[in-house]
Amino acid sequence: MTAAKGLVAVMMMAVAMAASSAQKAGVQVGWCTDIRNVTAAKAARFDYVELNTMEYTRMSDDEFAKAAADIKQIGTPTPVSHQFIPATIRLTGPEIDRDAQMSYIRKAFDRAAGLGVQTIVFGSGPARRVPDGFSKDEAFRQLTEFGKRIAVEARRRNVTVVIEPQRRQETNIINTAREGLALVNAINDPNFQLMIDFFHMTVEKEDPQIVVDARQHLRHVHFAKPMGAGRAFPLTWEEYDYAPLFAKLKQIGYDGRISIEATPTDVAVEGPQSVALLRRVFQRP
């Protein structure tokens, strides 16, 4: 075993134990950010960091080994990652390359497993965007076939992929959680499930009832305060109408993870406020 592989094996065990212990405390609050901000996330009292998949997949072996060692030393779990597939790897349309897709996927999953990642968020709006003039039905079939292929690879590494519905400004297929649920049902594999993003749900004006309807497949949540075309850290209960979403999450007894996907003005100030807000909602100290 090489030194890099040995480090990855130790990293996987340590992070998995930390994540398992954290899950016992109920809903966990994390932050979607890059590796350079893991220390800041820990200081801001986040339970975990949701990493950027493309960032660590593009690293050289030496860079990745150093990043894994740094994360282990900091001690903050990294059980989730997002920013899954680059736009250069087409998932729909007449020019998809299955070999290129799977080469990237296998490397991404191997790296994810080495960091203790258990859930990978499949947003990747540009990669899945349907080319002009191409059949939406055929694109859906392509995504279904792709999902079936990657679910097998995910299972081999104890990873679950969750489809992220995204607003129409970011992609033109799977824009609502209802459509995401249809894809999950079409793929029909336990390692391909659903997540919801409050920002996208708000822009698409989707009924929060989908949380209840999709309860058997809901595995992850992204959260932020919608700010026009962008998003911000949620700081107070009064600043926005968050109640309908949380009422549905509490109705189904949601006890998974919630990642804040936003860029703060000052994470040292806003991070603890956001964490405290979400912990109060789910009655965590």
Residue 19: per-residue pLDDT? 41
Mean pLDDT of 241-258: 97
pLDDT at 80: 98
Per-chain mean pLDDT for the chain:
92
Instruction: Check the CA dihedral 191-79-125-230 and report its sign.
Output: positive
The residue ranking higher by pLDDT, 20 or 88, is 88
> What percentage of residues in the chain have a pLDDT greater than 70?
91
pLDDT, tens only, 25-51? 589 999 999 999 999 999 999 999 999
Structural domains in the chain (count): 1
Q: Cα torsion for 158, 47, 105, 154, to the nearest 10°?
A: 20
pLDDT in tens, 88-135: 999 999 999 999 999 999 999 999 999 999 999 999 999 999 999 999
User: Is 50 exceeded by the pLDDT of residue 274?
Assistant: yes
Whether pTM exceeds 0.85: yes
Half-sphere exposure of 216 (CA within 13 A, CB side): 8
Q: Can you give the CATH number for the domain in which 238 is found?
A: 3.20.20.150
Question: Does 152 have pLDDT greater than 70?
Answer: yes
Token pair of 100, please? 């290129």
Mean pLDDT of the 74-87 span = 98
Cβ contacts of 281 within 8 Å, gap of 6 or more: 242, 246, 250
Which pLDDT does position 26 carry in this prediction? 81
Beta-strand runs (E) in 123-241:
160-163, 192-197, 218-223, 225-227, 230-232
List the domain range (segments joined by +) for residue 229: 3-281
pLDDT, tens digit, for every residue of 59-68? Answer: 999 999 999 9
Which residue would you say has higher pLDDT here, 12 or 78? 78
How far is the C-alpha of 53 from the C-alpha of 213, rounded, in Å?
A: 29
Contact status, residue 102 vs residue 142, Cβ threshold 8 Å: no
